[in-house]
Amino acid sequence: MASSEYSYRSFGFAFNNVRFSDRLLRIEITNGGEITNVDSVQDHKRRRTDVNTRAVGGENEKECNPPTPRVTELHINSLVLADKSPFFFKLFSNGMIESEQKHITLRIKAYEEAAVMELLHFMYTNSLSSVTNVRALVRLLMAADKFEVASCMKYCTCLLLTVPMTLPYAFYILRLPWPLLRAGSVKPLINAARHFIFMHYKDITKFPKEEVMALPLVGIITLLMSNRLMIASEDTVYEVVLQWAKANYSVLEERQGILARLARYIRFSYMTCPRLHKILTSDDFKPSVGYKLVLEALLFKSESSLAHRAAIIAGSRDQRFIERAYTYKPIRTMEFEVPHRQCIVYLDLTRRECNALYPSNPIFSQNFHLGGQAFLLLACCNNSQPNGFHSFGLYLRAQVNGSVSMTVDYKFSARWKPTHEFVMRGRGNHKFTGAESVGFRDLFGTSWASFIGEDSPYFINDVLHLRAELSICL
């Protein structure tokens, strides 16, 4: 409903004034216990239903053993209220008998009384008369949402945004009922609260374990929603979430339920295969849920679905498929035991990530295993000559225990245009006896400028696709 010109003017002189009113609003106030702002979605929806069924003329309303309400009466102008609120507009124009009555009954809880009275005053004056603290503003915001007064919701949001943000305040805001959290006018406040929590806990591994375990559910969800957590890998993200769930939900069924709820924010597709396998053999989830999550992650990782994977990332709004800014770059691996122990590793780097390598910011991959020993890939920009010639380098780094020696054949390949097939760029053989690296300082045999240029044959849709094939020499 479009607001008319007088919506922006004050009609305070007409508030509760019989000479400028055409209806009598009878407010029945029951002594029900206060429902805090931690209400569930179901409770909030139920209250909306109660409003719609009870505010249409209480004379025909029947309840079993209803409490004796306290009554307040106000003279109201239906035009003023209908202009500010779709709720009152429908109430006064639904064509039913109640819409023709001059006496309108509205039933509310005692804890809502101050907010509702302030809301009615606001609808006449576009200003507040007595709200002075955060809790009262939040109650007014909830009342404005309940009775669909968008202008008051926006007004309250602007005032709440002027309050200095703290962790308790941010958590308080994020515990508002879910339908209210989704309201457009409240979004700036919600974003401010989430941003504050995220910036405070951005490097969550630096905080004492007790503090992290004491975070409320909304805090954990806020952190999981971010793409910019300073964290090593999604394996680490999951371990934090799992420890938090075990610390706060001792009953297995409850813990499985909360983990299933949090699963929508966990990027399983970027977890390592050993960690995914561990999920299948654990009781973290009910078997059917765990199997579905792991299968979806493995399908996303599979090489044969590269085009589909790119389409999902580009077109999906599902954050589960968006890669975080991990310390260690996610990889995809394939392991074989026959005819000999072999591992194939796929590492994809965006053009932006490759640009960031220059001049000396290497990227490390997640760990992978071969013959029971840990390895990783290292991509970097090398300054290989005194004249400043830079090139793209790729290395295999072993983390072999010093008491073990292992000889590995390695072969590095990259997709290139126009065929988009993998083409071998270098191969070698090395006996690892400890933590050491082998590889190629100039994998593509060209300058850094040629490698990174717009006409580079190695970037396909701005992604560099690398492959390392490793096998243990017998």
Which sign does the torsion angle of CA 104, 108, 114, 115 carry? negative
- pTM for this structure? 0.77
Looking at 140, 161, 182, which one is the last position of a domain?
161
Distance separating the N- and C-terminal Cα atoms of the chain: 79
- DSSP 3-state percent helix, strand, coil across the chain (nearest 5): 45, 20, 35
Per-residue burial over 40-53, b = 16 or more CB atoms within 10 Å of its CB, e = otherwise? eeeebeebbeebee
Structure confidence at residue 384 (pLDDT): 64
- What phi, psi does 45 have (nearest 5°)? -65, -40
Q: Are residues 315 and 336 in the same domain?
A: no
Q: How crowded is the C-beta side of 3, counted as CA atoms within 13 Å?
A: 13
In a domain, 171, yes or no: no
In a domain, 76, yes or no: yes
Which sign does the torsion angle of CA 214, 219, 221, 224 carry? negative
Q: Are residues 293 and 342 in the same domain?
A: no
Assess contact for 143 and 116: CB atoms under 8 A.
Answer: yes
Looking at 266, 297, 321, which one is the last position of a domain?
321
Q: Are residues 154 and 58 in the same domain?
A: yes
Assess contact for 290 and 284: CB atoms under 8 A.
Answer: yes
Q: Are residues 206 and 236 in the same domain?
A: yes
| DSSP strand pairing (23-30 vs 103-109) | parallel
Dist CA 204 CA 94 (whole Å): 53
Amino acid at 164: P
Q: Are residues 142 and 207 in the same domain?
A: no
Structure confidence at residue 69 (pLDDT): 80
CATH number of the domain enclosing 48: 3.30.710.10
In a domain, 115, yes or no: yes
In a domain, 175, yes or no: no
CATH number of the domain enclosing 447: 2.60.210.10
Dist CA 155 CA 123 (whole Å): 11
Mean pLDDT by groups of 10 residues along the chain of 474 residues: 50 82 88 50 37 43 63 89 91 66 85 92 89 89 94 94 94 90 90 96 93 95 93 95 97 96 94 92 95 91 58 60 90 81 92 93 92 92 75 91 83 94 94 90 93 93 94 84
Q: Strand, coil or helix: what is 94?
A: coil
**DSSP, res 403:** T
User: What's the number of domains the chain is made of?
Assistant: 3
Dist CA 170 CA 193 (whole Å): 5
In a domain, 182, yes or no: no
Structure confidence at residue 286 (pLDDT): 95
Structure confidence at residue 53 (pLDDT): 37
Q: Are residues 280 and 376 in the same domain?
A: no
Structure confidence at residue 8 (pLDDT): 58
In a domain, 179, yes or no: no
- What phi, psi does 288 have (nearest 5°)? -65, -40
Q: For residue 242, what are the domain limits?
A: 202-321
Dist CA 308 CA 170 (whole Å): 38
Q: Are residues 379 and 295 in the same domain?
A: no
- Tokens encoding 298: 């493995």
Per-residue burial over 178-207, b = 16 or more CB atoms within 10 Å of its CB, e = otherwise? eebbebebbeebbebbbebbbebbeebeee
Looking at 321, 346, 375, which one is the last position of a domain?
321
Q: Are residues 344 and 240 in the same domain?
A: no
Q: Are residues 211 and 309 in the same domain?
A: yes
In a domain, 311, yes or no: yes
Structure confidence at residue 59 (pLDDT): 43
Dist CA 171 CA 158 (whole Å): 18
Q: Are residues 60 and 110 in the same domain?
A: yes
- Cα 363 to Cα 205, 240, 328, 440: the distances in Å are 20, 24, 7, 15
Structure confidence at residue 7 (pLDDT): 47
**DSSP, res 162:** T
Residue among 136, 245, 141, 235 nearest 189 (CA): 141
In sequence order, the β-bridge partners of residue 29 are 70, 108
- Cα 4 to Cα 7, 11, 79, 185: the distances in Å are 6, 13, 11, 20
Q: Are residues 363 and 449 in the same domain?
A: yes
CATH number of the domain enclosing 243: 1.25.40.420
Dist CA 83 CA 407 (whole Å): 80
In a domain, 34, yes or no: yes
Q: Are residues 9 and 151 in the same domain?
A: yes
Contacts 24+ apart (CB under 8 A), 377-380: 377/331, 377/345, 377/347, 377/466, 377/468, 378/437, 378/439, 379/347, 379/349, 379/354, 379/466
